[in-house]
Structure 1
Amino acid sequence: METNVIENLKLSSPAFSAGDTIPEKFTCDGEDVNPPLEIGDFPEGTQSLVLHVNDPDAPSGNWTHWLVYDMPLLHTIEENSTPGTVGMNDFGEAKYGGPCPPIGTHRYFFRLYALDTRLSLPPASTRDDVLAQMENHIIGTGELMGLFSHHT
């Protein structure tokens, strides 16, 4: 993917602040629904948004929890919503799968990408397919990181 992307999108959540613990409601210990997100500062020329939620601390490597593409330019992603076309997560489902680390505290990155095109991929496309289609179309990014420790 491009290396000269501008990190200019604002991405935040009324449910947790950057670097804080993600509330249990949005994890496998709770209702396992997506948290609400707020978005701002779309670059000129933005045609669609992609949201990728991943855990780089997973034992198997970079674990995708949620992948949404061809989102319109929204300022709010509501809690427990489907804001665009949903891709396949690493749980093998085309839906949000909340934080559920097997051990320790993991970091969860909510990464938002502004694209100068729509991807027009079928539902349940894979992370690799989405990332390949995004290449050379990213005109802005934003990021929100939260933490979670699974209580057994």
Structure 2
Amino acid sequence: MTSLLDPDIEQLGDLSIEAPDFDDGERMPDYVGFVNEDENPELRIENVPKEAESLILICDDPDARGAVGFTYDHWLVWNIDPDIETIPRGWNPSSDEATVGYNDFVQDEYNGPSPPDGTHGYRFKLVALDTELDLEPEARKAVVQLRGLMEGEVLAATQIVGEYDPSQGTAF
């Protein structure tokens, strides 16, 4: 399985993820920030393999290692319907739509960026699996990865990176 713990996901297959409010490697809008509206950006998904049974989405901050000593997880969602084309801004999925796991804020929701030391890059990593994962919502990223390795096969993977610095405002 493509490692969800590694700094970056290597592109596997034609799966793609895009955000209409920022380009890959560019600054995300203020509304994503923890001290602002604290809403995930809209994400558009294309080219999910036909054999996929579920998707996993992770937003993490590898640049947090300098401040806290590890890659900080901001959002963890699994068992997303593979037919989904858009994850809406501010998405709070019902248990029918997906399972939201615990992030490093120890909350089962999206918690946006709030870097203490300048600009950080936040990765939105997307993985297509050939199975659904039977996990409780209290699961963390390492457990999701381990179960994915044991129960399923990664069919496709991709990521997009958005930068954020709370000291730099945007027009959003």
What's the counterpart of residue 25 of structure 1? 31
1:111 aligned onto 2:125: yes
Shift of 1:93: 0.6
Shift of 1:128: 1.0
Contact 1:29 1:151 survives alignment (8 Å):
no
User: Which of 57, 62, 70 is residue 61 of structure 1 equivalent to?
Assistant: 70
What's the counterpart of residue 137 of structure 1? 153
Q: Which has the higher helix share?
A: 2
Q: Secondary structure at the match of 1:53?
A: strand
Contact 1:103 1:150 survives alignment (8 Å):
no
The aligned amino acid for 2:167 is H
Q: 1:142 to 1:2 in 2, by over 3 A?
A: closer
The aligned amino acid for 2:87 is I
The aligned amino acid for 1:130 is V
Distance across 2 between alignment mates of 1:5 and 1:15: 22
Give 4+ residue runs of structure 1 displaced > 2 Å after superposition.
1-5
Contact 1:26 1:32 survives alignment (8 Å):
yes
User: Which of 73, 76, 81 is residue 72 of structure 1 equivalent to?
Assistant: 81
The aligned amino acid for 2:57 is L
1:38 aligned onto 2:66: no
User: Which of 100, 103, 107 is residue 93 of structure 1 equivalent to?
Assistant: 107
Distance across 2 between alignment mates of 1:127 and 1:93: 13
The aligned amino acid for 2:54 is S
Contact 2:11 2:159 survives alignment (8 Å):
no
1:6 aligned onto 2:22: no
Shift of 1:151: 2.3
Give unmatched runs, 5+ long, in structure 2.
4-9
Distance across 1 between alignment mates of 2:102 and 2:158: 21
User: Which of 48, 51, 62 is residue 57 of structure 2 equivalent to?
Assistant: 51
Q: Taking structure 2 as the reference length, what is the TM-score of the superposition?
A: 0.83
Distance across 1 between alignment mates of 2:27 and 2:11: 28
- Alpha carbon RMSD of aligned pairs, Å? 1.8
Q: 1:34 to 1:102 in 2, by over 3 A?
A: same
Contact 1:5 1:139 survives alignment (8 Å):
no
Contact 2:2 2:157 survives alignment (8 Å):
no
Give unmatched runs, 5+ long, in structure 1.
none
1:146 aligned onto 2:152: no
Residues paired across the two proteins, number: 152
Q: 1:7 to 1:107 in 2, by over 3 A?
A: farther
- What are the Cα deviations for residues 24-54 of structure 1, in whole angstroms up to 9, with x where unaligned? 1011231001111000001131000000110
Q: Secondary structure at the match of 2:44?
A: strand
